[in-house]
Structure formats: structure tokens, C-alpha cells
């Protein structure tokens, strides 16, 4: 049974529709990356799954139950974001003790060791931590709870590069030892794509892609050559994105070419290469033309 199921789920705020007619199933015990540009509804989707807000229409199920006001979902879920607040009267050490009392799968030894590694003294209060250190503490809580459904919404906000790398490494190691359903939202897709199994891309209030990350990586090809060469030899399939870098032009196209067609492109002097998952994501959610480059090109023409 899927951990999360959405059937024609819509979320609106008064006259504004944030998410429209979503249909998907998120596999149990899989790390799924949730990505999309700012304002497309990623946080809204995660809060609906967490049961914090109610869907406007459609059917949403988590572990077979509607999450809104569900004690079962609440007891088996944790939602980590940079807005988490804790009582000022409690130190970090006190907070760990309370987590140990509340969460059934809590690993106190792991939490203590991670706080020591990240140099977070147990005697400090959460509110006095820097933004990066608060995010680090929140992330440690998310890992150590080992909830059947663990959701991280932009968990690395404020972390430096080293802390981000260590967080992803710790999350992956603990997931491999204790599998659970993990939803991970981040703008730094290039940093997290190596630990993802599935990817869910939200674009234009709907789902642009949902499936194994390997399928996303194989979805497009990058073609690089002079624009005249591309126009002569590479017009068989849809162009997803165009950009220019000096005398060379890059077209990102649907990867529906046969081996013979790829060989033909190469013989014409076109450089053919695969895309990373983060490059494919940017191509899917960006403009079909050069983006900000076109602004400057238009100014130069004027």
C-alpha cells in the first residue's frame, strides 16, 4: 500500500488555487524529493499531508487515513521546517528528553552524538542559536525520531556547505539502517539528488513529473553546436530549453532519439550529452527560451 495517496486533490485559498487536481501515489519506505520553483505549492502539499491544513477538494490519504485531525497520522509523522519553535524554558538537552518521551522510535544516543558532532551544547536554548544552527538542530530531531513518515521542508536553510553535506550523509545512513517514508523539499537539488530514489516536480499548480530519479535523468538530451547547425540537423523533437554561451547554442530536447539518430547528430558536429537530474528539473520548470539572457539580448538589440 502506498504511504500517501492523492486523488484529484485541490487546495485553494478563497479565489486563488494553489494546487489543482493532483493525482499521485508516494511509495512507502522511499526517499522522495519534492522540488519546484518558489510559490508552486510545495509547502502547502506537505502541510496537507501532515494534516496541518485541509484539502479543498479531492481525497488525500496517509497510511490509509485522512490526515486532517488524525491521531494515527500525527503519531507516525514529523514535519521539519525552519519555522519550528520550542519552549524558551527548555534547553536543547531538555528538548531531547521530551522527544524521547513522545516519539516511539526516538534514538536518544544518536541525537546526543549528532549534537556533539555539530557542536551544539545541550545547555543552550533553541532561540539563541544562529539560523544555521537552528536548522541543524531541527534536522537532528527529524532524523532521530525515525517516524514512519518524515518530512523535511527546506531543512538546510542557513547551513554552510559542510553542514549540508553532513546532514544529507546522516539522513542517508540512518535511512538505510531504518527505512521509512521520507519527503525532502529543497532548492539545492544538485546536492540531494544522489540520495533520492523518486522525484516529484510541482510546476504550474500541478505535477510536472513523478517517478524514479533515473527516469528524469534519461528524459532529455543536451545538444550543443552553432545555432545554424542545430536548425539544420536537430529539429525532429521538441525543444524544452534554449540558451547561448558565446558562439555555441544549447538545445535541451526530448530524449526520443534512436541510436542511429544520435550518431547522425554527432557526425554533424553536434555535441550530445545526458543531463543531471537537477539540469533536467531546471529545463522542465524554466522558460523555453534563454531566460534572463533574453533580457540582456533584447537590450543589446535596442
Which 3-state string (H, E, C) describes the chain? CCCEEEEEEEEEECCEEEEEEEEEEECCCCEEEEECCCCCCHHHHHHHHHCCCCCCEEEEEECCECCCCCHHHHHCEEEECCCCCCCCCCEHHHHHHHHHHHCCCCCHHHHHHHHHHCCCCCCCEHHHCCHHHHHHHHHHHHHHHCCCEEEEECCCCCCCHHHHHHHHHHHHHHHHHCCCEEEEECCCHHHHHHHCCEEEEEECCEEEEEEEHHHHHCCEEEEEECHHHHHHHCCCCCEEEEEEECCEEEEEEECCCCHHHHHHHHHCCCEEEECCHHHHHHHHHCCCCCCHHHHHHHHHHC
pLDDT for residue 282: 86
pLDDT tens digits, one per residue of 18-49: 999 999 999 999 999 999 888 889 999 999 99
pLDDT along the chain (302 residues), means of 10: 94 92 96 91 95 95 94 94 89 96 96 97 95 96 97 94 95 97 89 92 91 92 94 88 86 90 94 92 69 58 60
Condensed to tens digits (0 to 9), the pLDDT of residues 248-288 reads 999 999 998 889 999 999 999 999 999 999 899 988 887 54
Give me the pLDDT at residue 289, please: 47
| pLDDT at residue 291, as a whole number | 55
Amino acid at each position: 500500500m502506498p504511504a500517501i495517496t492523492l486523488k484529484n486533490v485541490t487546495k485553494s485559498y478563497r479565489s486563488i488555487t494553489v494546487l489543482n487536481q493532483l493525482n499521485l501515489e508516494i511509495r512507502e519506505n522511499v526517499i522522495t524529493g519534492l522540488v519546484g520553483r518558489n510559490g508552486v505549492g510545495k509547502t502547502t502539499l506537505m502541510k496537507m499531508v501532515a494534516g496541518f491544513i485541509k484539502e479543498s477538494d479531492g481525497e488525500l490519504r496517509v497510511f490509509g487515513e485522512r490526515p486532517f485531525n488524525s491521531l494515527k497520522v500525527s503519531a507516525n509523522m514529523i514535519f521539519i521546517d525552519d519555522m519550528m519553535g520550542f519552549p524558551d524554558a527548555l534547553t536543547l538537552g531538555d528538548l531531547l528528553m521530551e522527544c524521547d518521551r513522545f516519539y516511539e522510535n526516538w534514538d536518544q544516543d544518536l541525537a546526543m552524538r549528532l549534537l556533539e558532532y555539530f557542536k551544539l551544547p545541550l545547555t543552550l536554548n533553541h532561540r539563541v542559536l544562529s539560523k544555521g544552527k537552528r536548522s541543524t538542530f531541527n534536522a537532528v530531531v527529524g532524523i532521530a525520531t525515525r517516524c514512519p513518515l518524515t518530512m523535511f521542508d527546506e531543512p538546510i536553510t542557513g547551513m554552510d556547505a559542510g553542514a549540508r553535506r553532513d546532514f544529507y550523509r546522516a539522513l542517508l545512513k540512518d535511512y538505510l539502517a531504518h527505512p521509512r517514508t521520507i519527503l525532502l523539499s529543497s532548492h539545492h537539488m544538485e546536492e540531494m539528488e544522489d540520495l533520492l530514489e523518486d522525484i516529484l516536480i510541482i510546476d504550474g499548480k500541478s505535477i510536472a513529473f513523478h517517478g524514479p530519479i533515473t527516469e528524469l535523468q534519461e528524459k532529455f538530451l543536451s545538444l550543443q553546436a552553432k545555432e545554424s547547425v542545430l536548425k539544420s540537423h536537430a529539429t525532429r523533437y521538441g525543444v524544452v530549453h534554449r540558451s547561448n554561451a558565446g558562439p555555441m547554442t544549447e538545445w535541451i530536447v526530448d530524449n526520443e532519439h534512436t541510436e542511429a539518430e544520435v550518431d547522425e547528430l554527432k557526425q554533424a558536429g553536434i555535441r550530445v550529452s545526458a543531463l543531471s537530474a537537477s539540469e533536467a528539473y531546471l529545463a522542465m520548470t524554466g522558460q523555453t527560451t534563454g531566460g534572463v539572457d533574453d533580457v540582456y539580448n533584447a537590450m543589446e538589440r535596442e
